């Protein structure tokens, strides 16, 4: 399916367009017809999407373990199975990448659709800051949408987004806890039916954007991520990381890497845009980490509106019940491990700007209205053929803290006939932010950071 064919179909089925002057949502709508974070509070007309009722509470009899959350929906049965034989019937709720996977793998791939649960729940401080941002004129995008004002810190920047870049800022900064999170991150790549372990690493990520009460934090940092490889042995000890800023025009991504052979920390300016990420076997560009990462300056971003879509949701089994040998099949993730639900999503289309270089001409993102994670992603090349497709698998980390978690994702490279699955280990939330001295690249590279 080419981009033009699919785009025509998409525009015909958008359910909620961008607001007009007559019905533009107002800050006063938050907490009423909109949730406090800006999603439509009501359910869908057919009842398949329920009304928002405050999110997932701690399920009776279930408590999170050491970095794991038991599946609160383990007893549910799928309400629908989609495969190549009936995919066209549900095309309005499927992305181009989903359609391609179904049609290219008619004997082995399917999608099991479960009842929809609006699990997103957030702490009061985040909700209050989000409501503040909706009416705060100082919370705004700058530099033609490429930068974000520091006045937005602490809440979702744009609970009432007006353009594609504002939706993408919400996605980049989607809330996953104030004090950072760390996990044992395993990355596998399947290349023509062969499973290859690219690396297992201990990664730490945090968003100083939400750490407004930490005195030693640079308020201009949006997020930072670093990791140290544990396996395989040939690369164990290598480390890398990057810092992204709220104003990437004034402060470009600060990236670094450490090689055990050279025993030196080096700047890594190539950790950006469409540079292949060797840690993921080349399946991913650096600006496809978590489906999008980095600066938005090489694309024009158009907000197409909202649509009801089948997206990955509450994938507790994919993360922890299915081990790597089970979840990775020759050509795709084991569909019995995936869970799909119907949710409303923001649809954003990115088109490469004239005169700039990037391997992809067009991208499209489908971003959950509740969590601003749980996204689907499609990309096309200059000929209009599908280049890549991806999915971000979420859970709600219930208990303390209680927030969405969107760290696991997959990418399919249709040009090379391979795919990758990233972020599969336990997640441990810190009770306090990482000490600034531990975020120093030299400390991380030496293995002294906790």
Q: What's the CATH number for 3-446?
A: 2.50.20.10
Q: Are 399 and 319 in contact (CB under 8 A)?
A: no
Instruction: Determine the 3-state secondary structure of 335 from DSSP.
Output: helix
| DSSP per-residue codes, 65-76 | -SS----TTTT-
Q: Please list the alpha-helical segments (H only) found in 105-187.
A: 124-135, 164-172
Only one residue has tokens 């001409």, namely 361
Residue spans of beta strands (DSSP E) within 353-417: 362-368, 376-380, 386-397, 403-413
Kindly give the confidence (pLDDT) of every residue in the chain, 450 residues in length, as a single tens digit, with 9 standing for 90 and above. 444 333 334 443 444 444 434 578 999 999 999 999 999 999 999 999 999 999 999 999 998 887 889 999 999 999 999 999 999 999 999 999 999 999 999 999 999 999 999 999 999 999 999 999 999 999 999 999 999 999 999 999 999 999 999 999 999 999 998 766 666 666 778 877 888 878 888 888 889 999 988 888 899 999 999 988 888 888 889 999 999 999 999 999 999 999 888 889 999 988 999 999 887 878 999 999 999 999 999 999 999 999 999 999 999 999 989 988 899 999 999 999 999 999 999 999 999 999 999 999 999 999 999 999 989 999 999 999 999 999 999 999 998 788 999 888 999 999 999 999 988 777 777 767 788 888 888 888 887 665
Provide the 10 A C-beta neighbour count for residue 383. Answer: 9
pTM: 0.94
**Domain layout of the chain by residue ranges:** 3-446
Output DSSP code: residue 371.
Answer: T
What are the backbone dihedrals phi and psi of residue 157, each rounded to the nearest 5 degrees, phi first? Answer: -60, -45
């Amino acid at each position: 399916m080419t981009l033009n064919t699919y785009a025509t179909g998409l525009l015909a089925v958008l359910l909620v367009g961008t607001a007009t002057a007559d019905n533009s949502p107002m800050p006063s709508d938050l907490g009423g017809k909109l949730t406090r974070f800006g999603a439509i509070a009501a359910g869908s007309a057919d009842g398949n999407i329920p009304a928002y009722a405050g999110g997932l509470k701690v399920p009776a009899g279930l408590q999170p373990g050491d970095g794991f959350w038991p599946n609160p929906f383990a007893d549910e049965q799928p309400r629908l199975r989609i495969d190549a034989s009936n995919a066209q019937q549900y095309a309005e709720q499927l992305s181009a990448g989903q359609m391609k996977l179904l049609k290219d793998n008619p004997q082995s791939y399917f999608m099991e659709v479960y009842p929809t649960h609006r699990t997103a729940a957030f702490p009061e401080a985040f909700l209050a800051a989000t409501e503040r941002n909706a009416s705060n004129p100082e919370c705004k995008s700058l530099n033609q949408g490429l930068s974000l004002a520091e006045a937005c810190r602490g809440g979702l920047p744009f609970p009432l987004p007006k353009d594609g870049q504002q939706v993408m800022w919400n996605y980049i900064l989607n809330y996953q806890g104030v004090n950072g999170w760390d996990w044992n991150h395993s990355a596998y790549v399947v290349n023509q039916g062969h499973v290859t372990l690219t690396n297992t690493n201990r990664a730490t990520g945090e968003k100083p954007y939400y750490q407004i009460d930490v005195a030693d934090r640079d308020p201009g940092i949006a997020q930072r991520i670093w990791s140290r490889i544990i396996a395989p042995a040939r690369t164990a000890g290598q480390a890398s990381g990057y810092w992204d800023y709220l104003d990437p025009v004034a402060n470009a991504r600060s990236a670094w890497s450490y090689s055990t052979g050279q025993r030196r920390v080096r700047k890594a300016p190539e950790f950006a845009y469409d540079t292949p990420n060797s840690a993921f076997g080349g399946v991913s560009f650096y600006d496809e980490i978590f489906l999008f990462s980095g600066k938005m300056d090489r694309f024009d971003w158009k907000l197409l509106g909202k649509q009801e879509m089948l997206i990955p949701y509450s994938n507790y089994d994919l993360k922890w019940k299915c081990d790597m040998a089970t979840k990775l099949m020759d050509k795709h993730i084991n569909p019995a491990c995936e869970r799909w639900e119907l949710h409303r999503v923001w649809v954003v289309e990115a088109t490469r700007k004239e005169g700039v270089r990037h391997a992809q001409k067009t991208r499209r993102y489908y971003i959950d209205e509740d969590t601003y994670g749980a996204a689907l992603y499609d990309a096309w090349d200059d000929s209009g053929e599908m280049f890549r497709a991806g999915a971000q698998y979420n859970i709600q980390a219930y208990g303390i803290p209680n927030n969405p978690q969107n760290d696991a994702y997959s990418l399919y490279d249709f040009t090379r006939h391979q795919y990758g699955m990233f972020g599969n280990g336990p997640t441990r939330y810190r009770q306090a932010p990482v000490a600034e001295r531990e975020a120093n690249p030299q400390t991380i590279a030496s293995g002294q950071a906790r």
